[in-house]
C-alpha cells in the first residue's frame, strides 16, 4: 500500500511537471515571458500541497495543485467520505487538479483532476471537462471522441457512464445550463485491479494534455474582438458561480478549514457580471 | 393588513426612487452620463420585481431591487421561513435591496436591504453594511455613530444587538475575516407595534442614504492609483465568495428557482482573483 501511495503521488507530480513544461513551451514559442508562482501550504492535521500558477500571455491563469494529505478527518467530514467512519476518520489522499483560463476567448477553459484516496476503502477518481465560450462543433467532436477512445481501451462501459456523470455534475441548476461541453467524471473507481485503475487514471491525465494542446494550437493564432473578450469574462462568472455554489471539492475544502488560497486557485483571473 | 402591505411596498418604491435620483444627481454633477437599466421579472407562483441598475463613472454598478412576491412557497422553502408551515406555505413578502460597487477604491462598497414578510406571522427585517477597501477611521466612526443614533431613537437595545448580528453574519468563515466594517442586521422584528417597526425600517433606509452620500462626497474628488484599483478588484472577490457561499438570500433565491439575473444583480461588475 505504501508503494502504491508513493507511485501515485510521484505520478501526480510528474504529470504536473509535464503539463507545466508543455504550457511554458507554448508561451516561449510565442516570445512571451510568463510569470510562474509556487505556493506551498500545509494541512494542519497532516500533509501538504503545492500550487503552481502560471500567468502568461496565452495562458491567462493556470492553477495546478498537487497535494498529499493524511491523518484524521474533521468530524464534519467523516460522513461525507466513503469508508471514513469505519477507519475512525483516518485517511490518505493525493491528487492533481488543474484549471486553465485562457487569454483568448476562442480557446476553452479547461479543468482536469485525478486522485487516489484511502480510508477503510480505496479508490481513484477524477475527470476532465472543457468550457468554450463559443462552441466549435469540430472541437466538441474531437474532444469527446478522444476521451471515448481513452476510456474504451480500459472498459467500454466507462465512457457512457463517466460522460453522463460529468454532464450531471457540471450543471448550473439555478441557470438551467451546463457549465460547458462536458467530458468525463468518475469517482469510487475500484475495479479490484489497482494497477489497471492506476493506468486508467494516468491515461486520463495524458489524454487531457494531448487534447488541450491540440485545441490550443488550433486556435491560438486567431485574433479576437473586444466583444468576444467581454463574453468570455461574463462566461467566467458562471464558472465562479459553479465553483462556489455547487463544487463539492471547493465547498468541502472551505468548510473543513482548507487553505482558502489553494482552494481559490481555480478562480478566473478576471470576471464580469453585468 | 392589506393597507400595511400597500404602505410598505409604496415606501420601498419611494426609497428606491429617492436613492436613484440622489445617485444620478452625483453623476450629473460630475458631468458624466450614466447608463440606467430596468429589468422586470415575474415570480412564477405570484408577484414580481424590478431591478434598477446604474452603470456610471462614480457608481460603477449599483443594483437596486424592489420586489413584491406572494402565493405558496416551494416545499423546500417552507421549513426555512418562520411561520410558513402554519400558513400552509402561504406568504407575502416585499422589500428593497441595494448593492453598490464604486469606481473609486477609496469609497466603500455598500449594501442595504429592508423587507416586510407575512406568513402565519409578520415581521420586518433588514440592515446595512459597508465594505471599504482601505479602512478610514473617520468613516468608521461616522458610520457606526450615525447608525447608533438612528437605532437609539427607537430602542436603545437595538444598536448593540443588531450590530452584533451584522458582525456575526457578514463574516467569511473560510478566510476568518469580516466582509467589511459591518453596520446593523435585524430580522424577525415584530415589537407588537407595527407602525413603530415600519417607522424604524423607514429610518434605516433614510439613514443609509444620508450616511453613504456623506462618505461619497468626502472621497469622490480624490484620485487613486492602479495598485489601489487592483486591491479593490481583489477585495470584490471576497464579496462574491460571501454572496455565493454564505448569503442566505442569494442561496435561498437560487435554490428556489428565483430569477438568477435578479439575484446576481448584486455581483460586482469586475472582479479579480490572483
DSSP symbols for A158-224: HHHHHHHHHHHHSEETTTTEESSSEEEEEEEE--S-HHHHHHHHHHHHHHHHHHHHHHHHHHTT---
Beta strand ranges found along B87-213 (DSSP E) = 90-102, 109-118, 122-131, 171-172, 177-178, 182-189
Local structure of residue A109 (DSSP, 8 states): E
pLDDT mean over A208-234: 97
**Percent of chain A with pLDDT strictly greater than 90:** 86
Q: Which three cell numbers stand for residue A66?
A: 498537487
The answer to whether position B29 is within a domain reads: yes
Q: Is A245 in contact with B264 (Cβ distance < 8 A)?
A: no
Q: Are B266 and B57 in contact (CB under 8 A)?
A: no
The answer to whether position B273 is within a domain reads: no
Q: What is the pLDDT of residue A220?
A: 95
Q: What is the pLDDT of residue B30?
A: 81
Which pLDDT band holds residue B225 (cuts at 50, 70, 90)? very high
Q: What is the pLDDT of residue A74?
A: 81
Which of B175, B245, B258 lies closest to A244 in CB terms? Answer: B245
Which helix (H) or strand (E) is B61 found in, with range? Answer: strand B59-72
Alpha-carbon radius of gyration of chain B: 18
The answer to whether position A28 is within a domain reads: yes
For residues B93, B236, B245 and A236, what is the CA-based torsion angle, rounded to 10 degrees?
A: 100
* pLDDT at A28 > cutoff 80: yes
| Alpha carbon separation from A152 to A11, A81, A110, A274, B118 (Å, rounded) | 22, 29, 22, 43, 58
Beta bridge partners of residue A96, listed in sequence order = A66, A114
Report how far Cα A214 is from the mean position of its chain's Cα atoms.
18
pLDDT mean over B21-35: 90
Strand, coil or helix: B30 = coil
The answer to whether position A274 is within a domain reads: no
Q: For B63, which residue in chain A has the nearest alpha carbon?
A: A274
In degrees, rounded to 5, the angle at the alpha carbon of residue A215 between the alpha carbons of residues A210 and A219 is 150
Which pLDDT band holds residue B31 (cuts at 50, 70, 90)? confident
* pLDDT at B3 > cutoff 80: yes
Q: For A256, which residue in chain B has the nearest alpha carbon?
A: B174
Cell 453598490 locates to B100
Residues in contact with A236: Cβ distance below 8 Å, sequence separation at least 6, in sequence order? A101, A109, A268, A270, A271, A272
Q: What is the pLDDT of residue A131?
A: 98
Q: What is the pLDDT of residue A209?
A: 98
**Residues in A touching B267 (Cβ below 8 Å):** 237, 273
Per-residue pLDDT tens over the stretch A7-23: 999 999 999 999 999 99
Which of A173, A257, A268 lies closest to B273 in CB terms? Answer: A268
**Percent of chain B with pLDDT strictly greater than 70:** 100
The answer to whether position B274 is within a domain reads: no
Domain that holds residue A28: 2-266
Per-residue pLDDT tens over the stretch B44-70: 889 999 999 999 999 999 999 999 999
Round to whole Å and give the CA distance between A266 and A272. 16
- Whether residue A217 lies in the annotated active site: no
Beta bridge partners of residue A109, listed in sequence order = A131
The answer to whether position A255 is within a domain reads: yes
CA nearest A174: which of B95, B244, B175, B223?
A: B244
Round to whole Å and give the CA distance between A150 and A128. 12
The answer to whether position B271 is within a domain reads: no
Q: Are A152 and A96 in contact (CB under 8 A)?
A: no
Round to whole Å and give the CA distance between B125 and B132. 24
Per-residue pLDDT tens over the stretch A150-201: 999 999 999 999 999 999 999 999 999 999 999 999 999 999 999 999 999 9
* pLDDT at B257 > cutoff 80: no
* pLDDT at B76 > cutoff 80: no
Per-residue pLDDT tens over the stretch A70-121: 999 888 788 888 899 999 999 999 999 999 999 999 999 999 999 999 999 9
Round to whole Å and give the CA distance between A19 and B222. 46
Q: Which three cell numbers stand for residue B218?
A: 468626502
Q: Is A271 in contact with B272 (Cβ distance < 8 A)?
A: yes
Which residues of chain B have a Cβ shorter than 8 Å from any chain A Cβ?
173-175, 233, 237, 240-241, 244-245, 251, 254-255, 257-258, 260, 263-264, 267-274
Per-residue pLDDT tens over the stretch A253-266: 887 777 888 889 99
CA nearest A200: which of A213, A224, A216, A184?
A: A184
| Average pLDDT score over chain A | 94
Q: Is B273 in contact with A269 (Cβ distance < 8 A)?
A: yes
Q: Centre a 10 Å sphere on the Cβ of residue B178 and count the other Cβ atoms it contains.
A: 18
Q: Which three cell numbers stand for residue B18?
A: 429617492
- Residue of A111, A144, A174, A219 marked catalytic: A111
> What DSSP line would sit under A64-133, residue for residue?
EEEEEEEEE--HHHHTTSTTTTTTTTEEEEEEEEEEEEESSTTS-EEEEEEEEEESSSEEEEEEEEEE-S
Round to whole Å and give the CA distance between A69 and A127. 20
Per-residue pLDDT tens over the stretch B149-192: 999 999 999 999 999 999 999 999 999 999 999 999 999 999 99
Residues in contact with A225: Cβ distance below 8 Å, sequence separation at least 6, in sequence order? none
Beta bridge partners of residue B183, listed in sequence order = B129
* pLDDT at A31 > cutoff 90: no
Report how far Cα A19 is from the mean position of its chain's Cα atoms.
12
Residues in contact with B162: Cβ distance below 8 Å, sequence separation at least 6, in sequence order? B127, B151, B184, B185, B186
Round to whole Å and give the CA distance between A243 and A268. 11
pLDDT mean over B28-56: 91
Q: For B175, which residue in chain A has the nearest alpha carbon?
A: A260
Q: How many distinct structural domains can be found in chain A?
A: 1
For residues A222, A225, A229 and A230, what is the CA-based torsion angle, rounded to 10 degrees?
A: -160
Our CA-based measurement puts residue A22 at a distance from the nearest CA of chain B, in whole angstroms, of: 22
Q: Which of B174, B230, B233, B241 to mutate to test the interface with A (most CBs of A within 10 A)?
A: B174
Q: What is the pLDDT of residue A217?
A: 97
The answer to whether position A273 is within a domain reads: no
Q: Which CATH number belongs to the domain containing residue B206 in this structure? A: 3.40.1500.10
Q: Which three cell numbers stand for residue A265?
A: 486557485
* pLDDT at B120 > cutoff 80: yes
Q: Is A245 in contact with B244 (Cβ distance < 8 A)?
A: yes
Which conformational region is residue B192 in: left (phi greater than 0), alpha (psi within -120 to 50 degrees), or beta? left
Q: Which three cell numbers stand for residue B138?
A: 473617520
Q: What is the pLDDT of residue A73?
A: 87
Amino acid at each position: 500500500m505504501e508503494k502504491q501511495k508513493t507511485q501515485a503521488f510521484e505520478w501526480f507530480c510528474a504529470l504536473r511537471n509535464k503539463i507545466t513544461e508543455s504550457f511554458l513551451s507554448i508561451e516561449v514559442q510565442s516570445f512571451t515571458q510568463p510569470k510562474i508562482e509556487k505556493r506551498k501550504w500545509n494541512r494542519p492535521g497532516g500533509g501538504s500541497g503545492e500550487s503552481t500558477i502560471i500567468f502568461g500571455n496565452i495562458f491567462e491563469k493556470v492553477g495546478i495543485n498537487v497535494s498529499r494529505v493524511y491523518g484524521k478527518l474533521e468530524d464534519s467530514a467523516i460522513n461525507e467520505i466513503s469508508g471514513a467512519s469505519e477507519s475512525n476518520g483516518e485517511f490518505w489522499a493525493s491528487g492533481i487538479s488543474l484549471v486553465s483560463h485562457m487569454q483568448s476567448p476562442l480557446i476553452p477553459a479547461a479543468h482536469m483532476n485525478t486522485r487516489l484516496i484511502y480510508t477503510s476503502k480505496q479508490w481513484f477518481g477524477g475527470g476532465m471537462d472543457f468550457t468554450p465560450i463559443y462552441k466549435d462543433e469540430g472541437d466538441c467532436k474531437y474532444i469527446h471522441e478522444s476521451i471515448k477512445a481513452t476510456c474504451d481501451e480500459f472498459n467500454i462501459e466507462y465512457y457512457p457512464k463517466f460522460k453522463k456523470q460529468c454532464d450531471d455534475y457540471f450543471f448550473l441548476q439555478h441557470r438551467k445550463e451546463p457549465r460547458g461541453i462536458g467530458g468525463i467524471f468518475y469517482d469510487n473507481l475500484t475495479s479490484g485491479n489497482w494497477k489497471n485503475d492506476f493506468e486508467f487514471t494516468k491515461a486520463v491525465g495524458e489524454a487531457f494534455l494531448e487534447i488541450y494542446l491540440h485545441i490550443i494550437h488550433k486556435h491560438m493564432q486567431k485574433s479576437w474582438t473586444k466583444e468576444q473578450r467581454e463574453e468570455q469574462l461574463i462566461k467566467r462568472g458562471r464558472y465562479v458561480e459553479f465553483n462556489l455554489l455547487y463544487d463539492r471539492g471547493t465547498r468541502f475544502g472551505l468548510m473543513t478549514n482548507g487553505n482558502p488560497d489553494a482552494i481559490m486557485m481555480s478562480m478566473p483571473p478576471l470576471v464580469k457580471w453585468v
